[in-house]
């Protein structure tokens, strides 16, 4: 369990942060809420979910955490309606992630030409 305010971890039997009184959340929940747009960079957009999943798997294989966001809500200013699925990585991983994505894409192009 983690306090979302203090970002401190507690044992499971603790329900409320002893420091600030904030309700503790599970680690998964905390990490899910940790997606601050400023920490994450969109490295790829696609309309195909399988493609996003494929890149995510490849990035994970290289030790890079990534997130897939399916932006379908209308409140979000969409850049091109078709590219609704976004692949995000942490800022620090941007360069490596782009390299991997470009590598996969260039191999794909070669295959298509044959």
- In the complex, the residues that contact Zn ion under the rule CB under 5 A are 3, 5-6, 17, 19-20, 22
* Closest distance of CB 30 from Zn ion, Å: 12
H or E segment to which residue 110 belongs: helix 94-113
Burial (CB < 10 A; 0-12, 13-18, 19+), residue 104, is middle
- 33 or 49: whose CB is closer to Zn ion? 33
- 24 or 52: whose CB is closer to Zn ion? 24
* Closest distance of CB 22 from Zn ion, Å: 5
- 24 or 89: whose CB is closer to Zn ion? 24
Cβ–Cβ under 8 Å, residues 2 and 8: yes
Q: Estimate to the nearest angstrom the gap between the alpha carbon of 87 and the chain centroid.
A: 6
* Closest distance of CB 18 from Zn ion, Å: 8
């Amino acid at each position: 369990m983690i306090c979302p305010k203090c970002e401190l971890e507690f044992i499971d039997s603790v329900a409320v942060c002893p420091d600030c009184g904030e309700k503790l959340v599970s680690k998964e929940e905390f990490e899910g809420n940790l997606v601050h747009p400023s920490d994450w960079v969109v490295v790829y957009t696609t309309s195909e979910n399988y493609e996003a999943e494929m890149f995510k798997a490849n990035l994970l294989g290289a030790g890079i955490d990534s997130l897939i966001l399916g932006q379908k809500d209308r409140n979000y200013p969409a850049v091109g309606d078709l590219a609704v699925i976004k692949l995000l990585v942490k800022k620090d991983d941007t360069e490596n992630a782009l390299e991997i994505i470009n590598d996969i894409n260039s191999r794909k192009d070669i295959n298509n030409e044959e």
